[in-house]
Structure formats: structure tokens, C-alpha cells
Amino acid sequence: MRSQLFVPGDSEKKMGKGLESEADCLFVDLEDSVAAANKPKARDMAREFLAEARKRAKRPLLYVRVNALDSGLTDADLDGIMAAAPDGILLPKSQGGVDVQHLAAKLAVREAENDLVDGSTRICCVATETASAVFGLASYRGASRRLSALTWGAEDLSADLGAETNRLENGLHAPVFVLARNMTLLAAVSAGVQPIDTVYPNFRDEQGFRRECIEARRDGFTGKMAIHPAQVPIINEIFTPPAEEIERARRIVKAFADNPEAGVIGLDGEMLDKPHLERARKLLARVSA
């Protein structure tokens, strides 16, 4: 999934607009964008929205961002929404693989209660919201088959650090946040799950947003979260591999398949060996997904 659009779970209008956007996935939010007093209402609204949206022939993936495991609200969130069978849960303030397993156990119970296939609800973690969470990044590897993606956040991390800002005057992230970003990318690849880049809050700044998407793709992120529908087409454009790139990947895979004895091959005047083959295979796997 290239684009994941946040829609506040207490806004019927934004959930509806999200469905009409071209987002590959909606993150229906029960956490920070929903005020405490609205949480019970948001659970009901989110469940009804998911149930209706699931009836559509063509729809985005539907994930729900629950409240953090230490908030005391996670169980009520899950009890409120699991009957509508979300495709996945976005877990904020995750501290590592142990939190994934903790959430997985809660999901297994609700799947059984709601007649859902065991293990069918995926988990994506926001994995850098505190300093200690950054040290937990290596523990996602092998944590659970439910784990589908890791993403990162600078807003809550800057609060935990007491940082004055997370972005420099030129719009780029300050170095400690770049470290968290890069560690998330490494952790996701190490865990064999999708690396997703963080949100760009300044939703009127298209140029800065594009730059950040291009830099994320350059480094290996395969998607980015959006907070506004206007960001979705830009994400989809930038994270869709160009046709020439796909064609070239097919030719690389074919060249190695045609020469099973060869470790290294020349194609279009360029040397290709195993890392090139792996990159080509990864790209084709992403395209077919």
C-alpha cells in the first residue's frame, strides 16, 4: 500500500471523503485526533463506517488506529470495532515486538468472539514515539505474522525528548528525527515488513511534501501516510514504480533465469549481480501486491 490517509473516527464527513479519495488504505483514528469525550461515539461511528465501507466492490484497506496499550482505552477500542472486521490495527506508541504480541493476543480473542479468521487482522506499528521505543526497533523481527508494516512519528518523539522543534527552518527533519526515521526503515526491512514514511503536517506545502516523498522512495520506503486528501495523489504518483522500471526489472529477472549458471551478467552496458536481481524481484513483488 502506497498511501495511508488518516481520517478522524468521529468525523463522518472525513471518513466519507477518505473513501472517495484514491488512498490505498485509510487509518481510521480513535487516538490523537479524537478528543477524550468523543472516544465512545467515535468507536460506534468507526464500526458503522467500516461495516458499510466493506460492502463496496472496490475499497481501500481499512485500518483503525486504537489508543496506546498504556492508555487504558485499547480494549474498549477493540471491543467497539472488531465486529466490523478491520483489515488491520495501527498501534501508536509501540515499544517493540512485545507490544505487537500483546496486541496480537487481544486480537485473537476478538477474532474468535466475532467469527473472524484467526490471525486475519494485521498490525502496523508507529514505532518511534518515545526515546525508549527507538531502542526497541530491533525487536520487531519475528514478533508476529500479523505485523505488516512499521512507520515512525516525529511529533510525539519531540514531546518525549523535550525538543524545541522536529523540523529545521528549511523544512527538513532535525538530525535526531532523521535517525529515528532511518532506524525505522532498517527495522522494517529487517523484520520483512513494509517501511512507511511519516506524515507531513504542512498540508498546503505541495513542494515540500513532494520532496519528502521522493526522498523516502529514494531510501527504500514504499509508502507514506497522509493527513489530507490532497496529499494522496502525490503519494500514489511518487510511490508507483514507473513502467520502464518494471520492464527493466522483468528483463533482469529473465536474464538471470535464462543464465542459471551466471553470477554476474551484462545488460544494457551495466554489470548486474545478486543485489540487482534481488532489487528487481522485490520491485515485481510490490507491483503484483
Minimum gap (Å) between residue 68 Cβ and Mg ion: 9
CB 235 within 8 A of CB 2: yes
> In terms of DSSP bridges, do strands 25-29 and 88-91 run parallel, antiparallel, or are they unpaired?
unpaired
Q: Tell me the residue number closest to Mg ion, measured at CB.
A: 32
- List the one residue from 2, 3, 4, 8 that touches ligand COA (CB under 6 A): 8
Phi, psi of 196 (to 5 degrees): -120, 130
Q: Which of residues 171-230 bind ligand COA (CB under 6 A)?
A: 199, 227-229
Distance CA 286, CA 224 (A): 15
13 binds ligand COA (CB under 6 A): yes
With 0-12 / 13-18 / 19 or more C-beta atoms within 10 angstroms meaning exposed / middle / buried, residue 233 is middle
7 binds, among ligand COA, Mg ion, none (CB under 5 to 8 A by kind): ligand COA
Minimum gap (Å) between residue 246 Cβ and ligand COA: 30
34 binds, among ligand COA, Mg ion, none (CB under 5 to 8 A by kind): none
- List the one residue from 14, 47, 224, 276 that touches ligand COA (CB under 6 A): 14
Nearest to 79 by CA among 43, 36, 31: 43
Q: Which of residues 149-168 bind Mg ion (CB under 5 A)?
A: 156
Looking from the CA of 62 toward its CB, the CA atoms found within 13 Å total: 24
Write the CA distances from 104 to 129, 133, 202, 212, integer angstroms.
20, 18, 34, 32
- Binding region for ligand COA (CB under 6 A) out of 10-18, 43-51, 96-104, 278-286: 10-18
156 binds, among ligand COA, Mg ion, none (CB under 5 to 8 A by kind): Mg ion
- List the one residue from 32, 52, 79, 160 that touches ligand COA (CB under 6 A): 32
> In terms of DSSP bridges, do strands 270-272 and 265-267 run parallel, antiparallel, or are they unpaired?
antiparallel
Task: Write the single-letter amino acid at 282.
Answer: K
Q: Which three cell numbers stand for residue 265?
A: 551478467
167 binds ligand COA (CB under 6 A): no
Q: Which of residues 227-246 bind ligand COA (CB under 6 A)?
A: 227-229
> In terms of DSSP bridges, do strands 122-126 and 265-267 run parallel, antiparallel, or are they unpaired?
unpaired
Minimum gap (Å) between residue 33 Cβ and Mg ion: 9
158 binds ligand COA (CB under 6 A): no
75 binds, among ligand COA, Mg ion, none (CB under 5 to 8 A by kind): none
- Footprint of Mg ion (CB under 5 A): 32, 156
